Amino acid sequence: MNQTLSVIRQRRTTRKFKSEQIKDEELKEIIDAGLYAPSAHNQQSWNFTVVQNGELIKELSDASKESAKDVPNEMIRKIAANKDFNIFYGAPTIIIVSGKEENVMPEVDCAAATQNMLIAAESLDIGVCWNGLVGLLFNNEVIFEKYIKKLQIPQGFKPYYAIALGYKEVRMSNAPARRENTVQYIR
């Protein structure tokens, strides 16, 4: 099987990370993969903010849960109510993925960049967890301004996702069964 397809099929979400920080060279390779993602009209709408400060990562987790406690989705409210839960699962590095709001499809562009980074991380045997909960943090205008400055996110960009990165403490090997009847061919 082709190496790329193999990496895609073996990639699993990591929810238990070693405390050891990933190497700068590995981080650069992962970010470069994001930079080479496709984007609407080649606008390359993304901006990546790398956070490796453990106190700030915990603060972002707590603030995200606070922002999520009143959302309509019951499962998210339960997660938000767990004061001991870290939405980044103790990962030593996170990347906040922000999109330039004035561009054509910044959220889609950021999703493509995020997926590229997930696959690149797996190819380097680095665990990742795609996190959308952090995006709720930036729906509150007051909180938005506080963290936009703290995270040095450029003006006009909105954070959509985060990626938790680190060496895998636990390895997941079995892929869940894929849903059936999800492809139609019209020839």
Cα–Cα distance, 110 to 104 (Å, whole number): 12
Q: What is the pLDDT of residues 14-41, one digit of tens each?
A: 999 999 999 999 999 999 999 999 999 9
- Contact between 133 and 79 (Cβ < 8 Å): yes
Q: What is the pLDDT of residues 118-159, one digit of tens each?
A: 999 999 999 999 998 888 888 877 778 889 889 999 999 999
Tokens 């938000």 belong to 80
Cα–Cα distance, 79 to 131 (Å, whole number): 13
DSSP letter (8 states) at residue 162: E
Please tell me the pTM assigned to this model: 0.91
- Contact between 120 and 33 (Cβ < 8 Å): yes
- Contact between 131 and 103 (Cβ < 8 Å): no
Q: What is the pLDDT of residues 98-112, one digit of tens each?
A: 999 999 999 999 999
